[in-house]
Structure 1
Amino acid sequence: MSKRLFDFTLASLALILLGVPMLLIGLAVRLNSPGPALYWSLRVGRQGKPFLMPKFRSMRVGTPTVATHLLPDPESHVTPLGRWLRRTSLDELPQLWCIVRGDMSLVGPRPALCNQQTLHAMRETSGVHALAPGLTGWAQVHGRDDLDDAEKAAYDAEYLRTHCLVLDLRILCRTALLVLRGEGIRH
């Protein structure tokens, strides 16, 4: 089975199964703080092509568009429901749509913000931009938010050299375990 067919099939099935819970999460986001349920972020995709990636909004409207760890006081920007969404990774569910569309894959390097130039440069140097960005990835299961850009880029390059369906399945299983344990996530 091709990676694209695997991604499309699994993401479509997940969207069908999680449709009602996702609608309820969207409603809860709207009721919890002013603003839209979804936050659309401009990210860098395959071959450096930008695309819009949705997440359930976990930050207050007006928060600067930078990586969370670059905010002076990140906790002041996160909504009460947003903390829970981030801890459980439920804020990532709308990205299933990007997988169905073909902008993303289930497994690949996490899509970086367009203003993360250092990470982009490292990924370009190693050829990682040839891959579709993923909902999860090799770097994600090796530290997620606890990794610096150089470590993320190194894991992404390793994934580029070794990726296959078996590794993708291993990464998906490991991601599920890490999410259930709440490991490697900055709130």
Structure 2
Amino acid sequence: MRARRRPYDFVKRGGDLVVAGLGLALTAPMQAAVAVAVARNLGRPVLFRQERSGRNGEPFRLVKFRTMRDVNPAAGMVSDAERMTPFGAKLRATSLDELPSLWNVLRGDMSLVGPRPLLPQYLPLYTSEQARRHEVRPGVTGYAQVSGRNALSWEERFALDVEYVERRSFLLDLRILVATIRTVVRREGIAAEGHVTMAPFIGSPRPEVGR
């Protein structure tokens, strides 16, 4: 069943187009500099492309700057922690790696604000309530990202995602965008405890059904 749209969703899409277009134009020199730095520190390609789940669970290709080296078992680089470099960690901490995602916003794959897009293999693991996060376009930033980011548990993140779906409005989006600037400046919640990013989602505990 496809998600029902609200009048604000059409206004939001117009704002996304304007801001993403301006953002790409204004950050073009910065993105060029980041691309050169990525090429020097991590090699090519400078962009990271990965399939993610969008609105209604439909797949799309997310675009970001690379922050990790390629998987190389022979060199002992398999896990995220092994592949992450100091340069990549700094790039991720400043969220500069997210700038190419403005292309996804312009294309209509994403919005500026919404639940973060996750891997397609997570789709069958969501509860029916958690799956509601796909009723809207995923965002470059979101309610969970300004409320703890990767320091939150998956269940806390999904609860905030669904809360955003239910409460989405211009004022809430504006609050989240302003709070995003504060979160990036303070470099809050960059990684979950014991991880360089976030532990994989393996499903939430389900209540036992009585016999």
Quick check: TM above 0.5? yes
Match runs of 1:126-145 below 5 Å:
127-145=132-150
Q: Which residue of 2 aligns with 1:62?
A: 71
SS in structure 1 of the partner of residue 115 of structure 2: coil
The answer to whether 1:160 aligns with 2:137 is no
- Counterpart code for 2:68: M
> Please, which of 105, 109, 134 is the counterpart of residue 103 of structure 1?
109
> Please, which of 71, 76, 87 is the counterpart of residue 93 of structure 2?
87
Unaligned runs of 5+ in 1: 65-70
Match runs of 1:6-25 below 5 Å:
6-25=15-34
Give CA deviations for 1:117-151 in whole Å, capped at 9, x if unaligned.
47x61366552211000001111111110112211
Cα contact 2:117–2:139 (8 A) shared by 1: yes
Q: State the distance in 2 between where 1:123 and 1:14 align.
A: 35
Relative to structure 1, the CA distance from residue 62 to residue 174 in structure 2 (aligned partners, 3 Å threshold; closer, same or farther) is same
Cα contact 1:39–1:56 (8 A) shared by 2: yes
Give CA deviations for 1:139-165 in whole Å, capped at 9, x if unaligned.
111111011221111001111111101
Unaligned runs of 5+ in 2: 1-9, 197-211
Extract structure 1 runs of 4+ deviating beyond 6 A.
Answer: none
SS in structure 1 of the partner of residue 118 of structure 2: coil
Relative to structure 1, the CA distance from residue 132 to residue 166 in structure 2 (aligned partners, 3 Å threshold; closer, same or farther) is same
Q: Which residue of 1 aligns with 2:41?
A: 32
Structure number, greater radius of gyration: 2
The answer to whether 1:46 aligns with 2:55 is yes
- Counterpart code for 2:157: K
After TM superposition, the score normalised by the length of structure 1 is 0.89
Q: State the distance in 2 between where 1:63 and 1:115 align.
A: 23
CA RMSD of aligned residues (A): 2.1
Q: State the distance in 2 between where 1:7 and 1:107 align.
A: 9
Relative to structure 1, the CA distance from residue 94 to residue 160 in structure 2 (aligned partners, 3 Å threshold; closer, same or farther) is same
> Please, which of 149, 161, 182 is the counterpart of residue 177 of structure 1?
182
The size of the alignment, in residue pairs, is 180
Relative to structure 1, the CA distance from residue 63 to residue 17 in structure 2 (aligned partners, 3 Å threshold; closer, same or farther) is farther
SS in structure 2 of the partner of residue 115 of structure 1: helix
Deviation at 1:33, TM superposition (A): 1.9
Q: Which residue of 2 aligns with 1:67?
A: none
Q: State the distance in 2 between where 1:63 and 1:166 align.
A: 46
Q: Which residue of 1 aligns with 2:209?
A: none
After TM superposition, the score normalised by the length of structure 2 is 0.79
